[in-house]
Every structure is written in structure tokens, then in C-alpha cells.
Amino acid sequence: MTTIRPVSPSGKPIISQRVNSIAPSGIRKFFDLLASMKDVISLGVGEPDYTTPWNIREAAIYSLERGRTMYTSNLGMPELRRELSRHLEQRCGLHYDPDDELLITVGVSEALDLAMRATIDPGDEVIMGAPCYVAYPASVILSSGTPVIIPTYESDCFEIDSSKVEATVTANSKAILSGYPANPTGAVLPREKMLQIADVARRHDLLVMSDEIYSQLVYGIEHTCFASLPGMQERTILLGGFSKAYAMTGWRIGYAAGPREIIAAMTKIHQHTIMCAPTMAQIAALEALRDSSGSVEEMVADYNHRRQMFVKGLRDIGLSCFEPKGAFYAFPNISITGMNSETFAEKLLAEEKVAAVPGTAFGECGEDYVRCCYATSVPELEEALVRIKHFVDKHR
């Protein structure tokens, strides 16, 4: 492995300060250990255990056979944008003009990056709750902005509190980044709380970037699209994708929906850096929107069974576990073992061959928690619970 020196022979720094300022993952040691082990039950994944429904794969295969291998419009195929517009109208009651208010991206990750780069100037602050998805603070930093982190707690169901958001607002505040249903906690923000956040955004003239990648994976609760709240569509960038609901993670296909000026700015960056999302993946996404609601329903019902069984299992072991209402993660509190979350995860892996992600990977306030993904088979979840129980009993 080549090690790059931090400075060139003439003394110039090689890596940009911006990139250097992104903290390296504190759990490298854990990943290395995991890579060296066999027969591990991994609850560390962040994707469905389903393969993409066959009708979607078949549509993409057919498109390749027909030779549909060229670029599409920068914005994405018009028929996909039209279908997406219909889909958002149906699911959220929102109208987005397929001609200039929708942009098809390389996963929701690109959409997030574009949203930041299109709107954030150096020094601008973006307010977000934590524990949160690792790319949230990083995407702000890469746009030379400043992430402003508001810790959320199990006692508050990991819901971000509008009064705390308001207290962090400064003259530099530009946007609120909301990520519900949440990775890693599985929390879903109730509509009343969203309305309070919306009120803060309106009064302080803040943009809202709403990552709703898990919006179709909710259990016993309705998802509210942030942009559907009164007066919010004009200041919200809705970020969505196909990865989670349609089990399409590897296709890398997502979208942004928002005010046309912002979408135009995002498209400018997109056309210089990406050109267009992969054509094959766009065709697959079109099929997903047209004819996959049955598969999604079935997968959601299955996740729900596993969610209930796994959370109950964790609680029976004696771990306090907030009831996740969305996504496919459980976020148990492991403080009864007296270990911090990194030590817990490392020892659980070494002693029981179960991989879970330390909560601190998602922010300092993730201390005392681990993220367990229950998108794995029931027998594996049952075995994981047996091993976790053995581990907790030994160390509590």
C-alpha cells in the first residue's frame, strides 16, 4: 500500500483542508477485524436482504438487449420523470413538474451532495439531528458549510425538537437537514413535530433538505412528506430513491424534487460531474414505479415481522430498545454491559461472531448504542439474539 505524504516535497499540502477536516471513521479497527472473520452473522448492513424484484431486473435486461445504452437527458429520462411526478402526487399529494422540478440522480447520495453544493456557501450552517447517517455532516463540510448537530435521545424517541433547532439558529443558518425515517435509529418524526420544525424554517427563512429514502418502510404509522406541510414545498428539497423500498441499492438510482431554481442549480453540477444517472438503472426505476407496489408491500410486511420479533428479543435480553417505526434498524442501548459502544461491538464480534455497528459511528450521541439491521433472515436473527443474550449475560 502506498502511503501518501501529507505534504509534497516543496511543502504544499496534498489533500485539501476540506477533506482533511472530515473525521476519519473511528471504527476502522472494527471493520478490519470483521474482514478477517468467517461465519459472522452481520447485523451491520444497511440494505435489504432481498434481491431486486424480477420484473425490475427483467425490464433492465430487456433494455440492454434492445441496445438502450446511450446517455439520457441530464435530468433523467422524461418518461421516468413523468412517472415519478405521478408517484409523488399519489403518495404525498404534491405536484412536481417533470420538466424542471425533478432530477434523477445516482442514488440519494448524489442528490444530497448536489443539494448541499447548490445551496451552501462557505460559512453557511446546516442544522441536523444526530445520531444520523454518516454522510450528512460530511456532505455539508464538502460544501464548505458547517454542520450544526443537535443530539436526540432515546427518551425523546430520537425526535428532533423544534425549540432546540430554533436555539441553534444564527445569522449563518441556511438549512435544516431532516432524515426521517432515520438511519440509524429507525425513528419516524410525527407530523405535529414536523409542523413545528416547518414553522421554525418559515420564520427564519431556512431551506429544508428532507432525505426520505426510507419513506416507504414505515410500520403502523403514516409517513408524512416534509414538502407536503403547508408552505413547505417552496423551501424543501425532497431527496428520495429506489434503493431501500425496491431493494435496488446496487443500481444507484435516486432523485431530488424541489423548487425549479434549486433543481436547475443542482442540474448544473450534475451535468458537469455525472452527465446522467445510468440509463439501465433509470429504466429499472421506471418499471419499479409502474409495477412493483405488490412486491414493496410484501417486503414491508416481512420487515415488520422481523422488526417486532427482533426488538422483542432484544428487550427480553434486558436491553432497553426504542421501538423503531421505520427503516430496518433497531438501536438498542447497551449501557447495562458497562461497555462503550465500540468496545461492545468489537467484543460481540470477537466473542460471538455477531456484527453490529457502534452507535458512535453516527455521532457522539450514539454512545451507549449499537445499530442492528434486522433486514436478515429470521433464523439468523434468532441465532443472533441467542448469541447477544449469551454475551450480555456474561458481561452485565
Partner 1 sequence: MSNKEIFRMLEKDAKLTPEQIAAMTGSSVAEVSHVIKQAEDDRAIIKYKALINWDKVGNEHVWALVEVKITPQREVGFDAIAERIYKFDEARTVYLMSGTYDLAVVVEGRTMREVAEFVTHKLAPIEGVTGTVSHFVLRRYKEDGEIFDAKEESKRQAVIL
Residues that bind partner 1 (CB under 8 A): 31, 34-35, 40, 42, 44-47, 49, 51, 133-134, 301, 305-306, 308-309, 312-313, 355, 357, 361-362, 378, 382
Instruction: Name the residue nearer to partner 1 (CB basis): 192 or 297.
Output: 297
How many CB atoms sit inside 10 A of residue 286's CB?
24
Instruction: Name the residue nearer to partner 1 (CB basis): 76 or 326.
Output: 326
SS3 23: coil
Q: How far is the CB of 123 from partner 1 (least distance, A)?
A: 28
Instruction: Name the residue nearer to partner 1 (CB basis): 12 or 28.
Output: 28
Q: How far is the CB of 185 from partner 1 (least distance, A)?
A: 13
Instruction: Name the residue nearer to partner 1 (CB basis): 45 or 61.
Output: 45
Q: How far is the CB of 336 from partner 1 (least distance, A)?
A: 22
Closest alpha carbon to 285 in 101, 97, 77: 77
Pair 68, 380: CB distance under 8 Å:
no
Instruction: Name the residue nearer to partner 1 (CB basis): 76 or 358.
Output: 358
What residues contact residue 270 under an 8 Å CB cut-off, 6+ apart? 74, 103, 105, 110, 114, 276
Burial of 235 (0-12, 13-18, 19+ CB in 10 A): buried
Q: How far is the CB of 324 from partner 1 (least distance, A)?
A: 13
d(CA 86, CA 72): 20
Pair 119, 144: CB distance under 8 Å:
no
Q: How far is the CB of 34 from partner 1 (least distance, A)?
A: 5
Whole-number Cα distances in Å, 135 to 60, 112, 165, 179, 326: 29, 9, 20, 11, 19
Q: How far is the CB of 125 from partner 1 (least distance, A)?
A: 24
Instruction: Name the residue nearer to partner 1 (CB basis): 27 or 286.
Output: 27
